[in-house]
Structure 1
Amino acid sequence: MATLTEFTPSLSALKRSLTHVYHIAYAPAIKKAYLFHWGCNLKCKGCLCHKEINCMALEENLDVVFRDPRLRPPQTPAGSLSFDELITILEKVELAEVAFEGQEASLDPTLPEICRYLKGRNARVVLHTNGVAKADTANIDEVIVSLKAVTPRIYQEYTGLSNSFVLENFKRYHDSSVLLKAESVFIPGYIGFDETEKIARFISSVDKSIPYRIDAYFESGDNPWRAPEPAEMKEAVGIAKQHLANVYSTQQTKRELTKADLLYEVIRLY
């Protein structure tokens, strides 16, 4: 196994450096860790963090989808881990894969060193990103870009920022050595059938084989939108499949989940 001294000439400074990681979840059955980051360069109206900032697969959060967001004030983490604290926690578990989740991991100044450490552990590294900033992919295996919208007006209204960097960075990720995937959130009447097709067309213009996941919107933040019906999600997938080879969707329809409903148990490491 690689050691920390191989990663940087300034080991003591690195160990003291604060990461943006505030929460770590772990699935023992598949040896996968989920690192949740705080801080973002977008202000998405339907961001999950308006409702819950910790892993949705934890037992205490299995009701997240159907919670009324107006009954719970916005949350912020108490603090973040230092690089040394993060590594100390991860050293206690076996790692086959690690996913960067939460808000925007590409803003974490320690991200390259975290990835380098993980590759030293022979772990597969997956970055979830909004694509506004282009991360160093030297030690990243897979990048999943959230394409909020491709229509400039809708993107700016929803996020507060232009999407020109996102679309260019999506192409740059495709030209790198990583496995690239795309995702978006389906919001009926807003980011609906027309916009979903535009997203699919954009992805197709880069590469028809890029996998595309369409997530069903659920109530988060103070918004007027409703969750889509299963038939609408099926139709959205069918529309996207006219342009792409690999399209699928996610939607929780069961109101009361238990651990038995999960593919594998997820526990909190921090």
Structure 2
Amino acid sequence: MKTSIYHITFFDANKSLYIQFHNCNFRCLGCIRRLGIWDSHLSREIRDILMSFYRDVESVYLSIDALRSIALYTKDFLDARIAILGGGEPTADKMFREVVEILNGIDMEIRVLTNGYNLDRYIDILGDVDAYIVLSIKSIDRDKHLFYTGRDLDTILKNFVEVYRRGLRISIETIDIPGFNDPSDIEKLAMYISSIDPSIELIIDSYIPVPQTPWGRPSETEMLEAGKRARKYLKNVYLRGLEISKPIGNILLIHPPLPLKVSPCNK
């Protein structure tokens, strides 16, 4: 049986595999995949080739055995140590449990980038493998969250609390979206997180405009204001793009293979 894993890249700076799942159980209005489904850290040349050659993404879905082979290869020859599961939504894959077991079985550190909606189904195995959870909360306002994602917020907050109660490592991500999820909204999210544990890390991303949405990119001043407000309640707040930089080093395309002779190495 195949997974919905369609794309894997390797970052030599921290020896990590970024494993992307195609399926998702949300329909986020500002989803970055509207701009492209291939890793944005790869060169434009490589992404254009992938986009033109692999129009049928399901044709490159990996089987469990193929994933195991790729993971073992990267561990043996590239010294891969970390498997970052993203997408899409990793927990929307029916083979998610098997994927986690395979990666843990070859001593990979596992990090899961998730919207949190299905976390209750997998808390047991994620706890068993000591996975690190990065939970994205698009808005702490229930109506806004439903509007933006098509899913209710209460399920996610319930799962967040349960993950924390079980002792799993967890960080929260949110997005500074001017006029929608702005500094005042992010402050309310920080207040909520602090009510659980003020030491929980909050990462604030800068919204990247996508077609057919009314929102623009926040200014540096707006991002700094969001960080300032969040730090009134939380000890660990980081602004992606300002305080968290893009990966440095080589980025290798692992899957799918390039159909043409183009170097998969990016600086």
Report the TM-score range of the alignment, normalised by the length of the smaller protein.
0.7 to 0.9
Q: Summarize deviations over 1:213-257 as a string: whole Å, max 9, x none.
A: 0000011231111101111101100000001000011137xxxxx
Give the alignment's TM-score, normalised by structure 1: 0.82
In the comparison of the two structures, how many residue pairs are matched? 237
Contact 2:82 2:108 in 1 (8 A): yes
Q: Distance in 1 between matches of 2:47 and 2:104?
A: 34
Could you tell me which of 101, 104, 127 is aligned with 2:89? 104
- Name the residue aligned to 1:24: 8
The one-letter code of the counterpart of 1:98 is A
Root-mean-square deviation (CA), in Å? 2.2
Please show how residues 9-158 of structure 1 align to structure 2 within 5 Å. Answer: 17-60=1-44, 77-79=57-59, 80-94=61-75, 95-134=80-119, 135-136=122-123, 137=126, 138-158=128-148
- Is 1:212 aligned to residue 202 of structure 2? yes
Identity between Structure 1 and Structure 2 (%): 27
Pairing 1:241–2:231 present: yes
- The answer to whether the Cα contact below 8 Å between 2:38 and 2:47 also exists between their aligned partners in 1 is no
| Residue pair 2:4, 2:58 contacting (<8 A) in 1 also | no
Amino acid at match of 1:60: R
Counterparts in 2 of 1:61 and 1:243: CA distance versus 1, 3 Å:
farther
Find the aligned partners of 2:253 and 2:113 in 1 and give their Cα distance. 19
Task: Give 1:263's aligned residue.
Answer: 248
The equivalent position to 1:167 in structure 2, one of 149, 154, 157, is 157
Structure 2: runs of 5 or more not aligned: 49-54, 256-267
Alpha-carbon deviations, 1:7-29, whole Å to 9, x = none?
Answer: xxxxxxxxxx2111010011134
Write the letter of the residue equivalent to 2:66. Answer: E
Residues 195 and 50 of structure 1: CA distance in aligned 2, closer, same or farther (over 3 Å): same
Structure 1: 5+ residue runs without aligned partners? 1-16, 65-74, 253-260
Q: Aligned with 1:91: secondary structure? A: helix
2:211 is aligned with what amino acid? G
Secondary structure of the 2:73 match is coil
